[in-house]
Amino acid sequence: MKQAALVVALLLPAVAAAQRFPDATELLANVRLRQSQQEIDLRGQLRQDAKIVPFHLVQNGPVVRYIFTNPDETLQVRIGVNDSRLDEIKRSGSEKITQLNEPVRGVAITYEDLALKFLYWPNAHVIGADFIRTRNCWKIQLQAPGGDSQYGSILLWVDKDNGALMRMEGYDSAGKMIKRFEVVSAQKSKTAGI
């Protein structure tokens, strides 16, 4: 009888630990908040097969700008509390991008991906924890709210310490993975003073 009690006692902490996941809605709200508070200036690349598209990313709080050259194009994401907005910045002003499922610069990343619309999806659940490139992350499953998205669901890995988005896997409505993005590295830009 003591052995059975010991086995049950050993299993209870494991069950309790599995139930200690944070609330996904609060976690995503915190990710949006942390994303909107960053000051970033870095160079990056969109890569797909042999195609490499360099860009300059500048973020001042809730405004993120992706600056491309050849041809010149600036995309601006405004991260809000309840939604995000993606605009193309032109000399004549800004214009909201409405065709979110279109690819950016001929790679798999779409305007929807850059707009981070999935961070606002209401049906989300933390389903575990995992390590991505040595970073301890929460693994969140998100269900698309309707037919506007190219995705049926998304798995998202969020760094537990800083709320950074480390990996995203997008699935179609049949559950087949159609995209996977992962932060490989980030390098801050250096500016020289005169």
**95: CATH:** 2.50.20.10
**Cross-strand bridge partners of residue 86:** 77
Q: Is residue 39 part of a domain?
A: yes
Q: Is residue 11 part of a domain?
A: no
Q: What letters, b where the CB count within 10 A reaches 16 and e where it falls short, cover 50-79?
A: eeebebeebbeebebbbbbeeeeebbbbbb
pTM value surpassing 0.75: yes
Q: Is residue 124 part of a domain?
A: yes
Q: Is residue 175 part of a domain?
A: yes
Each of the 194 residues of the chain gets a pLDDT tens digit; together they read 444 433 444 444 444 444 588 999 999 998 888 888 888 899 988 888 889 999 999 999 999 999 999 999 999 999 998 999 999 999 888 999 999 999 999 898 999 999 999 999 999 999 999 999 889 999 999 999 987 899 999 999 999 988 888 999 999 999 999 999 887 654 443 433 33
Number of domains comprising the chain: 1
Q: What is the domain extent for residue 31? A: 24-187
Q: Is residue 18 part of a domain?
A: no
Q: Is residue 15 part of a domain?
A: no
Nearest alpha-carbon partner for 63 in 12, 115, 110: 115
Q: Is residue 34 part of a domain?
A: yes
Q: Is residue 4 part of a domain?
A: no
